[in-house]
Structure 1
Amino acid sequence: MSKILIRGAKVLGGEPQDVLIDGDTIAEVGSGLSAEGAEVVEADGKVLLPGLVDLHTHLREPGREDSETVLTGTRAAASGGYTAVFAMANTFPVADTAGVVEQVYRLGQEHGYCDVQPIGAVTVGLEGKKLAELGAMHESAAGVTVFSDDGKCVDDAVIMRRALEYVKAFGGVVAQHAQEPRLTEGAQMNEGVVSAELGLGGWPAVAEESIIARDVLLAEHVGSRVHICHLSTAGSVEIVRWAKSRGIDVTAEVTPHHLLLTDELVRSYNPVYKVNPPLRTERDVLALREALADGTIDIVATDHAPHPHEDKDCEWAAAAMGMVGLETALSVVQRTMVETGLLDWAGVADRMSLKPAAIGGAKGHGRPVSAGEPANLTLVDTAYRGEVDPAGFASRSRNTPYEGRELPGRVTHTWLRGRATLVDGKLA
């Protein structure tokens, strides 16, 4: 049906209202709207948000379809309330040419569960030695504006400066994986008391913080935009806060798992907790929450990193780094930010939809829930409580750190330009 009436939804957590969708657009928002000719969805006080946008997703295709594909990854995204995701470049082959980014972009269009915006590599082959075809990727059908060697740090200051200068010409942004490689050789987890007790190689906070400090100064010097991926330490928060106070054009993201989990979990030696950057201390977690609340950290990004069973079900040292996150992100944010009083639902919409869309230039996404706007929407049952069961995930991979953990909230419906991709918790 071309018309859908969402009745009695708490728009951004406010008072219940009706929202009428006509085709691909929100036609009206108000009380007591007519349902004539429309399919009615009884929201019963559920929270209605603009469709979520993830600036940091690994879809693995092409090359690692054993862990995820554009189809399974976007189905997972729709299940988690996302209407747009940005796909990282560390595929095989690497997304460092117009041809590869166009392939990923078109796969997203074909499958239709959410919009897929490819992220282009900063350097050829993610090797950090030669700039990739940034201009060609931007001018391609994919229209790439975000570039990252995620998984690998652009540690050469000259290369980083050149990348910042290049993307400035078309308003692009370099998203940096902040990890000084020499300081993290052999690192297995956060450097601290727990790593010393377990005898695992430590990953010092300064390895992240030193790169962020360098890059915000480079961005200031060039007059360009830099985005910090998966910020994870209290020290990194202070550097970003200082940079913003100077007017430097820097944005930063935090993952849901860094808002909730700590390095104490590594005592189990369960590789599900092995991630890059590593889980940090309780002090870091609290600093990250406060920074997300006060705007120092701009957005929540999942860093959804699927891996096949054999890459995680092994000894700690041999296990791959990463966690799936698209289907649990909103629940973790509700648990860590809303239920703690640090953010209201309007704040969640800002950090998980409006700002990531603005940073990445996701057209039609991250828009207010108001008449005339694209009908990219997410309906959330915030009263729901349930244990996480990865067997029910839409993602091809199951490497979640939340298995068996009770989390609040459940996405019941997702609409992409007025078309339901998730209905009553089931993929359409």
Structure 2
Amino acid sequence: MTAPTVVPDVFSAGRIGPVQLRNRVIKAATYEGLAHRGRVTRDLVDFHVAYAKGGVGMTTVAYLAVAKDGRTDRHQVLWTDEAMPGLRTLTDAVHDAGAAVSAQIGHGGPVAEARSNRSPALAPSRRVNAIAMNTSQEATVADLDRIVAAHAHAAGRAAEAGFDAVEVHLGHNYLASAFLSPKLNKRTDEYGGSLRNRARLARQIMQAVRDEVGDRIAIIAKMNMDDGAPGGFWLDEAIPVAQWLEADGTLDALEMTAGSSLLNPMYLFKGDVPLDEFAGVMPQPIKAGVKMIGHRLLKSYPYTDGYLLEDSRQIRAAVNLPMILLGGVTDRPMMDTAMAEGFGFVAMARALLREPDLINRLQADAATRSLCNHCNKCMPTNYTGTRCVLVDRRTTRGTDWGKPAGYAGPNGVDPIR
């Protein structure tokens, strides 16, 4: 495929399916750690309103599990009747601030938090998780049928709650991604073996979501190109899977990602590995494990701007779908490069955690540089309220999210009712 003859400006309006965004910058999903007992809190609303006021075209709420046994944290929002008023408050607030809002949905599979979920983590095949120190249970076909239906239910509820889009999580060795991986999927039934079989669950999920919401909201898939683990899912298989999803007609846009929360968590992020900070927020015995062997499990990769571009452009050449470039997008030159190479949108995460109003300032002055230094100390804050630890939110330009560095999260705060 060739790049469009007219290269759009990243700050021009862009369309994903039925949704028109005011610009082509998306706040990528970063688990906020701000829900409480399965429901939205005011802190979670304010977190996303800050990015809307800061200029993004769309912000992504992460991670909204489709089932209780798919949660990766015990407080994650579930698609219950009790959660719906808070979700509607969130979407209304983001819309009032001028941006669209997407709900990231998925099932954690082998990455799920089995202890707090009080149910075994599900996986394609039985496996010991060295990081979580538990054993995943092989999912039955009945489990998979239930989870496919749960994705459809979540997408329908997202539309009901006022979300403009759903982003279905097919990456990071969450359940659908684990099925894609030949390293993790050792099944001999219709969900294992050949690539078509390993892709069956992802395709069923996407079809169920499309059947449920039709064209009411946009449907995005976030899919791995590379697990970052020997013997895992890689680009040579990601290309045909992307083509099958396009041919199925279930997607409005595709965002490529990389890495495995199960096997190689730092592969996506690049930059420093804050081992002491990770150990500091972990319960025992995981804390001791991180201190002893964390350097083997949490490997360091050098950060470069646009670090997923080289692989993503190979997917870009193979499909006609609108694509979102993720990974090392922090300044106007990289945004312009993405547009010139045929990507319709860019997604940003850590740079916006550091400066929620970065997009407004980039639009005003193209020479603006992000202050993010890729220390990755934001990552362990997932458990206490995701933030850049180098910034006191009370003094951050352009944000209303007034939580200082060291904020201890939403525990004890009443959810929105």
TM-score, normalising length: structure 2: 0.43
Bigger strand share:
1
Instruction: Name the TM-score, length of structure 1 as normaliser.
Output: 0.42
